[in-house]
Amino acid sequence: VEKSASRPRNRRGEGARLREEILAAATRILEETGSEEAVTLRSVARDVGIAAPSIYAHFPDREAIVNTVVDAAFERLREVVSTVRAERGADPVAALLRGCRAYMHFALDRPGQYRILFGRTALPDVATDAAVQRRIGVFYALVDSVADCVKAGRSDSTDPFTDATAIWSGMHGAVVLRIVTPRFPWPPLDESIDSMVYRLARIRTP
């Protein structure tokens, strides 16, 4: 990551703009490297075109930058999935499939970021409640979506929560393996999603 040629200093009262530039640079680095460790104060500063200590006016430390980027990415994921699920007709099976496709496309469009969303702070004693809550938000929309199918008589699920964990696992695994093993002859994405979700959500076949 090269240092930008020259960056004009923000005008008085507009110093907060730098905060946005820092977040954009950190997001870019995260996406390009797929590595949280690559987001260093110095690499971000180089990317923005500032001196490293200038970051301290906007973030208390390195970790705060990454946390802010990750929170924003989770919020975007939540919004994309819930928007897509709500749009158009009332067919609950179609809504479930739209939500699942949106989830997987979101992930595969920004693989570097997605891996960090669900890959960091791995070991048992490190995961915080807040991290769990962020991850679970989208999951509950999935449980609701399966439950909608049951209510409409389209699914034989007797336990939408458990079936939703299976769907979530299937989507996550498919996304991660595709990211990490791109040379593998993966079947076409959308067909795979639909076929997997139909079976795991116990959608009735006529």
Partner DNA sequence: TGTACATCAGTGAACGCGCGTTCACTGATGTAC
Total of chain residues touching a second copy, rule CB under 8 A: 44
Look at residue 72 and give the partner it binds from a second copy, DNA, none, a contact being a CB closer than 5 to 8 Å depending on partner kind.
Answer: none
x-or-dash string of contact with a second copy, 136-175, rule CB under 8 A: x-------------------------x--xx-xxxxxxx-
Please list, in sequence order, all residues whose beta carbon lies within 8 angstroms of the beta carbon of residue 63, skipping any fewer than 6 positions away.
none
Look at residue 112 and give the partner it binds from a second copy, DNA, none, a contact being a CB closer than 5 to 8 Å depending on partner kind.
Answer: a second copy
Nearer to a second copy, 105 or 135 (CB): 135
* Binder of a second copy out of 9, 53, 87, 122 (CB under 8 A): 122
Task: State the Cα–Cα distance between residues 201 and 193, nearest whole angstrom.
Answer: 12
Task: State the Cα–Cα distance between residues 187 and 175, nearest whole angstrom.
Answer: 12
Task: Tell me how far, at minimum, the Cβ of 199 lies from DNA, in Å.
Answer: 45
Say whether residue 5 binds DNA (CB under 7 A). Answer: no
Task: Tell me how far, at minimum, the Cβ of 192 lies from DNA, in Å.
Answer: 38
Say whether residue 183 binds DNA (CB under 7 A). Answer: no
Task: State the Cα–Cα distance between residues 159 and 168, nearest whole angstrom.
Answer: 14
Say whether residue 51 binds DNA (CB under 7 A). Answer: yes
Task: Tell me how far, at minimum, the Cβ of 131 lies from DNA, in Å.
Answer: 20
Q: Which stretch binds DNA (CB under 7 A): 53-61, 104-112, 180-188, 195-203?
A: 53-61
Asked if 84 and 102 count as a contact pair (C-beta separation under 8 A), the reply is yes
Say whether residue 63 binds a second copy (CB under 8 A). Answer: no
- Distance between first and last Cα of the chain: 56
Nearer to DNA, 48 or 164 (CB): 48
Task: State the Cα–Cα distance between residues 25 and 45, nearest whole angstrom.
Answer: 8
Longest Cα pair distance anywhere in the chain, in angstroms? 67
Beta partners for 203?
A: 155
Please list, in sequence order, all residues whose beta carbon lies within 8 angstroms of the beta carbon of residue 190, skipping any fewer than 6 positions away.
101
